[in-house]
Amino acid sequence: MGNVIAVGGKGGVGKTLIVALLTKLLKDPYALLVIDADPALGLTYALNANPGKTIWDIRESLKEGPGRKNLFGDDDKDAPLREIIRDQALLKMDNFDFLAMGRSEGPGCFCGINELLRYAIDSLAREYDIVLVDCEAGLEQVNRRVLRNMDTLILISDPTVRGLQTIRHLDQIAKEHAAGTASLKTGLVFNRVDNESSVEGLKQDLSINIWGYLPNDSTIKEFDLEGKSLLKLPESSPAYRALSLLKPLIVNS
């Protein structure tokens, strides 16, 4: 199975931005699957991706047909559903594959959207070196065991007291649900930090490893204003350069 890297944090801290930059960083040396697991589809827009269907669309198609539920059976039975996801929802992009969760839960189907997302990750991950997941805000998808096989969890925070309060809570949730999986690596990345000394006082009593700091980046703001794909961000971008230095911490050798 590929190395599953999940990126989480509270809303508004730049989680999706960092996943977009990681996509740019990892897409050439690795066979990469990128998953937008946030119903808001922020990563989809940040990468200018245009998937024909999402996991939600596949879920809707499963509402009808009495034999559909049997597709979640043994390995020799689950191939059809895996093929449906691959053929209809998997988008081929520039040296990586992309999958979007789409809309969140709704009534009328035997399987929840997160259950189907978990199935997609588990069944497709073996085909890639790395599976990179942009989680929805919070760690609900960890709670629901959607990411039961994740190897690395990157938590993102802005340099604020409120941001760190959320990180402590999310870190505790992750540790509780990772019990028995000692291989899970968890690290914190501060986003929008212009002066590392300004966060010294915020780091007290943190039990999570701090992996690095990303600065404010005017180039990213320009790209967002113009709707450009962050994949086209120049490698001279300060945020991209800072994230590149963290690659040995993020990717399991």
Render pLDDT for 65-100 as a digit per residue (tens, 0 to 9): 544 544 444 454 555 777 888 888 999 999 999 999
If you write DSSP's letter for every residue of the chain in order, what string do you get? --EEEEEEBSTTSSHHHHHHHHHHHHTTTS-EEEEE--TT-HHHHHTT---S--HHHHHHHTTS-TTGGGGGSSHHHHHHHHHHHHHHTPEE-SSSEEEE--S---SS-SS-HHHHHHHHHHHHGGG-SEEEEEPPSBSHHHHTTTTTT-SEEEEEE-SSHHHHHHHHHHHHHHHHHTTT-TT-EEEEEE-S-S-GGGGGGGGTT--SEEEEE----HHHHHHHHHT--GGG--TT-HHHHHHHTTHHHHS--
Render pLDDT for 9-65 as a digit per residue (tens, 0 to 9): 888 899 999 999 999 999 998 999 999 988 888 999 999 999 889 988 887 777 655
Render pLDDT for 222-243 as a digit per residue (tens, 0 to 9): 999 999 999 999 999 999 999 9
Q: What's the start-to-end Cα distance of the chain, in Å?
A: 14
> Sorting pLDDT into bands at 50, 70 and 90, what band is 144?
low
pLDDT at 108: 46
What whole-number distance in Å separates Cα of residue 253 and Cα of residue 243?
A: 17
Structure tokens at 172: 């505790």
Name the domain count of the chain. Answer: 1
- State the residue range of the domain holding 100: 3-250
Which CATH number belongs to the domain containing residue 191 in this structure?
Answer: 3.40.50.300
Structure tokens at 237: 């971008």
